[in-house]
Structure 1
Amino acid sequence: MPFVNAYVSEEDAKKYDLDNLWNKYRSIGTKMPELLNSFDVHQHAWCVDKERGYWLFYCNYVMTYDTPSGLPQPTSKKIFILHVNGQNIELILEATPWKPSDLQAIGLEYANSFPIQIAWNIVSMTPSCLPSMSKADLLIILKEALTVFKCRGIRNLEFNDKALIRCNFQYFVS
């Protein structure tokens, strides 16, 4: 079964301690589980491949405190957890607009049918490999998950339908 955007069952949320995982990366604002009351569906969301036991969980934006007001502001960087083979990989990904050369490579006419075009870039990945899996294999799994997650996961399927996603990971493999 491939990756799908889904709401997390209460059992899985407890099994993987998702409240605390979310709270670890939330420096300001309401914490879990209270924050779940502000969502239409009072559950965590993830992109999951249940057959392989892999999941991608969005935690929060990376915040910057270097602002004129001194108040924290979100950046274009997002924190995700990729769970593979029983281990959590912490990822900081940056969502940037596609470059014109990217659009030409797939055909401008095709690309222009999507008003939202996002390129995911890896800022950091810890750990960068697992004892049983190379960095290249992890990046393949990450790309599979992000291709389904797009930019909002199950919380905004309409937004995702308008999005064309590209994973710029070739520069990250060394």
Structure 2
Amino acid sequence: MPFVNAYVSEEDAKKYDLDNLWNKYRRFGTQMPELLKKFDVHQHAWCVDKERGYWLFYCGDVQNYDSPSGIPEPTSKEVHILHINGQNIEFILDSSDLDPSESVSTDLYPIQFAWEIVSMNPSSLPSMSKADLLTILKEALTVYKCRGIRNLETNKKSFFKFNF
């Protein structure tokens, strides 16, 4: 079964401790599980391949704590956790605008960007190479797109490529 965008069951959210995983990367603002009340569907969301037991979980934007205003501001970098073989791999990904020469029809895809890896920890697993991990990450991000199941309309309008 390939990756699909889905809401996380309460059992899986507890099993993988998703509240604390989210809160680890969100140093200010509303914390989980309180934040779930603000979403239309009061559950965590992820991109999951249940057959292989893999999932991708968005943990939030990397914040700039040295902003001119003194208030933390989001950057173009995002934290994602890719769970494979019982191990969490932390990816910090940066989205940048596509080079105009790589652009496609903006009528069909008004949202266009390229993913780049800022960091990956760990960079390999005992049973899997970095190349294999990146292939799985690409599979998941291709389905996840911008915000997974929480933003299907934006996903339809987005085109991206991988710079890794």
Same fold (TM over 0.5): yes
Percent identity of paired positions between Structure 1 and Structure 2: 73
Separation (CA, whole Å) in 2 of partners of 1:158 and 1:113: 12
Which among 144, 150, 155 is matched to residue 155 of structure 1? 150
Superposed displacement of residue 101, structure 1 = 3.0
Q: 1:99 and 1:84 mapped to 2: Cα distance?
A: 32
Shift of 1:102: 2.1
Letter in 2 for 1:20: N
User: SS of the residue aligned with 1:129?
Assistant: coil
Give the alignment of 1:65-104 within 5 angstroms. Answer: 65-103=65-103
Q: Partner residue of 1:2?
A: 2
| Residue 31 (structure 2) aligns with | 31
For structure 1, the 5+ residue unaligned runs are 170-174
1:25, 1:12 → 2: CA distance?
Answer: 19
SS of structure 2 residue aligned to 1:128 = coil
Tell me the amino acid that sits aligned with residue 161 of structure 2. Answer: R
The answer for the alignment partner of 2:133 in structure 1 is: 138
Number of positions where the alignment pairs a residue of Structure 1 with one of Structure 2: 164
Choose which of 147, 161, 167 in structure 1 pairs with 2:162.
167
CA distance, structure 2, for counterparts of residue 90 and residue 43 of structure 1? 22
- Which residue matches 2:48? 48
Kindly provide the amino acid, as one letter, of the partner of residue 18 in structure 1: L
CA distance in 2, matches of 1:59, 1:121: 17
Deviations 1:32-57 (A, max 9, x none): 10110000100000000000000000
Amino acid at match of 1:81: I
Counterpart residue identity of residue 48, structure 1: V
SS of the equivalent of 1:2 reads: coil
1:17 aligns with 2:12: no
Alignment partner of 2:118 out of 112, 123, 131: 123
RMSD between superposed Cα atoms in Å: 1.0
Q: Which residue of 2 aligns with 1:59?
A: 59
How far is 1:113 from its partner? 2.2
Q: List per-residue Cα deviations over 1:76-101 (Å, max 9, x = no partner).
A: 00001000111000010001111123
**Deviation string, structure 1 residues 136-160 (Cα, Å, up to 9, x no partner):** 0000000000000001110010010
Name the TM-score, length of structure 1 as normaliser: 0.91
